[in-house]
Amino acid sequence: MRFGERLVKATAAHGPLCVGIDPHPGLLDAWGLPRDASGLERFALTCVEAFGGHVAVVKPQAAFFEAYGSRGVAVLERVVADLRGSGTLVLVDAKRGDIGSTMAAYAQAYLADGSPLAGDAVTLSPYLGFGSLDPALDAARASGRGVFVLALTSNPEGSPVQRATGPDGRSVAQSIVDQAAVRNAGADPLGDVGLVVGATVGELDADLSDLHGPVLAPGFGAQGATVADLRRVFGEDLRGVLPASSRDVLRHGPDSASLRSAARAVGDSLGL
């Protein structure tokens, strides 16, 4: 079963919310955990206990694991394995992007069968050219996994690049959307090449109507985006949109039952 199909089934069962696992040092402090690999492990595995089998998608932020070196990466590997074992889809938020053999190596790490870092999907950066992502797109197709490509992010630094227009009059973001749409053409029920579009971008000056793929919408909750913002950005039809929330849920730790209840409450607030 391809990623797009698995995602449709998961959201039908659990709703569209994507919950992040972001072991920020401030959250470790708030949970009364040490800022070391042992604290990271307790934090992350508590999240796995809370969310595994209860939400559609969980998004561990790779950087917060990598910050602890090899022990942190080992924790990320366990998070990926345990969540996948629970039936929850895992989106590894690594934002990888490079060229040639280096991109192929990233693809092997995050998208190939047998790799301990390979979840169900990974985030990618296309700003060395969308074509530079071909090794990852090919690897995802071969293994039935998905990718989410940065298109229109909510950070203010991204706007001058992403909204810039090329010789054909299209914005950079629209060019990324269009190239993702080509990859998704003919997929049923949903393509495997998703996009990242921030829920706080305001006016969406990109046409997603032909994408036929999922959209990860970070910024919901603690970063300020509301259901009204989601509808303002994406319109009334939010099928395929995955609102992402991290701190708004994680602040309810360290009790796993409280975390699960918080995720359920945030999911219910979407009304989707």
> What confidence tens digit (pLDDT) does each residue in 201-226 have?
888 889 999 999 999 999 887 667 88
Beta strands at 193-197 and 215-218: parallel, antiparallel or unpaired: parallel
Catalytically active residues are: 95
Please provide residue 220's backbone torsions phi and psi, each rounded to the nearest 5 degrees. Answer: -75, 135
Give the bridge partners for 241, in sequence order. 215
Average confidence (pLDDT) over 150-164: 93
pLDDT of residue 93 exceeding 70, the answer is: yes
The amino acid that residue 8 corresponds to is V
* The dihedral formed by the CA atoms of 22, 36, 111 and 223, expressed in degrees to the nearest 10: 10
Q: What does the alpha-carbon distance between residue 253 and residue 190 come to, in Å, rounded to a whole number?
A: 34
The two three-digit tokens of residue 7, written as one number: 């995602």
Q: What is the pLDDT of residue 4?
A: 98
Domains and CATH numbers, the chain: 3-270 (3.20.20.70)
pTM of the model: 0.97
Q: In the predicted model, what is the mean pLDDT of the chain?
A: 95
Q: What does the alpha-carbon distance between residue 162 and residue 198 come to, in Å, rounded to a whole number?
A: 12
Q: What is the pLDDT of residue 236?
A: 84
What are the pLDDT digits (tens) for 79-89? Answer: 999 999 999 99
Q: What is the pLDDT of residue 224?
A: 74
* pLDDT band at residue 184 using 50, 70 and 90 as cut-offs: very high
User: In this structure, are residues 172 and 161 in contact, taking their beta carbons and an 8 Å threshold?
Assistant: yes
pLDDT of residue 121 exceeding 70, the answer is: yes
* pLDDT band at residue 67 using 50, 70 and 90 as cut-offs: very high
Q: What is the pLDDT of residue 129?
A: 96
pLDDT of residue 103 exceeding 80, the answer is: yes
State what percent of residues in the chain have pLDDT above 70.
99
Q: What is the pLDDT of residue 46?
A: 98
Give the bridge partners for 147, in sequence order. 122, 193
* pLDDT band at residue 113 using 50, 70 and 90 as cut-offs: very high
Average confidence (pLDDT) over 33-37: 98
Q: What is the pLDDT of residue 220?
A: 81
Q: What is the pLDDT of residue 154?
A: 85
The two three-digit tokens of residue 209, written as one number: 């109507």
